[in-house]
Amino acid sequence: MEEFRRRNNTWPYMHLANKLEELGRLEGFQVIKVNPQYSSLRCPVCGFTDKANRVSAEVFQCSQCGFTGNADCVGAWNLLERVAEEHSVPILSPKGVA
């Protein structure tokens, strides 16, 4: 995971976004953009948002409900929820897994 992050965090955001959109066109899936603000600080279980929730680059732990998970996965769950809310798409979520 560290190597993946190091290798891919050096790409400019627009370059990565363009690559994802191109891959979507080639593979036949839709790429939906959502605002990523606070996605790695918000608990996907209780919704509490705080800088203290992000224990480290790898670890998320909610200061309110105690939910713990991989920080990248938590951010991805939150982004997925935003897509579902904005586009009325049903999703599976981590609610109830804590």
Q: In terms of domains, do 18 and 66 share one?
A: no
Q: In terms of domains, do 21 and 43 share one?
A: no
Range of the domain at 93: 34-98
Q: In terms of domains, do 55 and 11 share one?
A: no
Q: In terms of domains, do 50 and 5 share one?
A: no
Domain count, the chain: 2
Q: In terms of domains, do 38 and 77 share one?
A: yes
C-beta separation of 61 from 53 below 8 A: yes
Exposed / middle / buried, residue 67 (Cβ in 10 Å: 0-12, 13-18, 19+): buried
Residue 6 or 30, more confident: 30
Residue 88 or 83, more confident: 83
The pLDDT tens digits of the residues spanning 53-62 come to 999 999 999 9
Query: What is the pTM for the complete model shown?
Result: 0.70
Residue 13: the pLDDT is: 75
Half-sphere exposure of 5 (CA within 13 A, CB side): 6
Indicate the pLDDT class of residue 97, thresholds 50, 70 and 90: very low
